[in-house]
Amino acid sequence: MKILKFGGTSVGSPQRMKDVCKLICDGQTKIVVLSAMSGTTNALVEIADYIAKHNPEAANNVINKLRNLYMQHVSELYATEEMAEATRKLLKEIFQHLHNLTAGGYTPSLEKEILAQGELMSTNMVTNYLLEQGVKVKLLPALDFMRIDGNGEPDMAFIKTEVKRQVSDNPNYELYITQGFICRNLEGEIDNLQRGGSDYTACLIGAVLGAEEIQIWTDIDGMHNNDPRFVPNTTPVRQLNFEEAAELAYFGAKILHPTCIQPARFAGVPVRLLNTMDPAAPGTIINNQMQQGTIKAVAAKDNITAIKIVSSRMLLATGFLRKVFEIFESHQTPVDMVTTSEVGVTLTIDNTAHLAAITEELKKYGTVETDENMCIICVVGDLRWGNVGFETMVTEALSHIPVRMISYGGSNHNISLLVREADKKETLCALSQKLFQ
């Protein structure tokens, strides 16, 4: 069995929904994970924000506008009045529920319940369309089997048991439709998976079922070897190792969240990235295979701040680095890159919410300097130290660009460089020219 996930753009209009339904109806049994229609989640966030601001009138106005849009979608999607009316009835119940929620006070759990309505609407609309087309389809509510534990992590034992039970209790269906992103927490409240959203849902289902393949359908032909917004003539990467894909995702390739594919990796289930606008394109396959001696791609991560701590007292001082990192930990601020010398350490962060407090605490141990508006450039591939020459190619490509930091050796798959954001485009183009052309 294959697991297919379609994002909000892929189901962003009645015609897109019809196109997806044509694509998934090939006679093979599969589970299809759907996001909310594009634009819906933003509207739902706006509704929750108005409730938080004690403005239920504005929240209800947004709900009414969203309802009118969905009623128009219903008229365009269905051929029979019977199915159109059945879908209108279901949607009206959901929108009435949203209206009811505006009467209460704001809580984080209320916002999560509001956000969940987008996936509930899209999956019901697509299921009803497939039923109208005569397809044997079953809607499996994600809220019945997708659960997180007290740490916000997926409860894998529960998910495995319940997914298998849902499928076995509903045999002989061609398609199973379910919601991405949404789940329940230990208290039984509606919650969400946060990291990776619907991609994470698909990978969790694929992992617990030992699926043949997980397919992530978006509006781009797989993961490219560089950022096509800045670099001309980029090409899709046809194969990536899971670790290579995670590095690219973490350092800027927005097509995937870095942690969402981990369940698939541990279960040995390949993940394929495909394009709904060009279904025939091969896309990118991500698996546990390693293509030796190859540089695969370049990615960039913006809004980076470099922090340099210099102190002659740190020479051979036991515990210096521990004290430095404890400061970042206490402010819940992750660190991306690290370089050290005899008298100092430089590291980077992408979350500056606590920068002032962090800087003040670091001054206890030395002189602190910060460089803002920086960018991490990540070169990914088979970069094990035995592959002589790759690091030279990277540095030669940037011989005319000032590089603030270089991190090499911490991973077998990544060379990271810190440059100014103003030099980002030139850096990406220079690397593309040297490494791929």
Is the predicted pLDDT of residue 315 greater than 60, yes or no?
no
**Regarding the domain delimited by 2-219, which CATH topology (the fold level of the hierarchy) does it fall under?**
Carbamate kinase (3.40.1160)
Higher pLDDT, 228 or 311: 228
Least confident segment among 39-43, 283-287, 308-312: 308-312
Give mean pLDDT, residues 118-129. 98
> At 221, is the pLDDT very low, low, confident or very high (cuts 50, 70, 90)?
confident
- Confidence at residue 23, expressed as pLDDT on a 0 to 100 scale: 96
- Confidence at residue 316, expressed as pLDDT on a 0 to 100 scale: 54
Is the predicted pLDDT of residue 96 greater than 90, yes or no?
yes
Q: Tell me the domain boundaries of the chain.
A: 2-219, 296-436
Higher pLDDT, 384 or 186: 186
- Confidence at residue 340, expressed as pLDDT on a 0 to 100 scale: 87
Least confident segment among 123-132, 253-262, 266-275, 367-376: 253-262
**The CATH number of the domain covering residues in 296-436:** 3.30.2130.10
pLDDT digits (tens, 9 = 90+) for 110-120: 999 999 999 99
Question: What proportion of the chain, given as a percentage, has pLDDT over 70?
Answer: 97
Higher pLDDT, 380 or 319: 380
Is the predicted pLDDT of residue 345 greater than 70, yes or no?
yes
State the pairing for strand pair 239-241/182-184. Answer: unpaired
Is the predicted pLDDT of residue 195 greater than 70, yes or no?
no
**Axis-axis angle for helices 81-101, 56-77 (nearest 10):** 170
Our CA angle for 121, 122, 124, nearest 5°, is: 65
* Domains 2-219 and 296-436 equal at CATH topology level: no
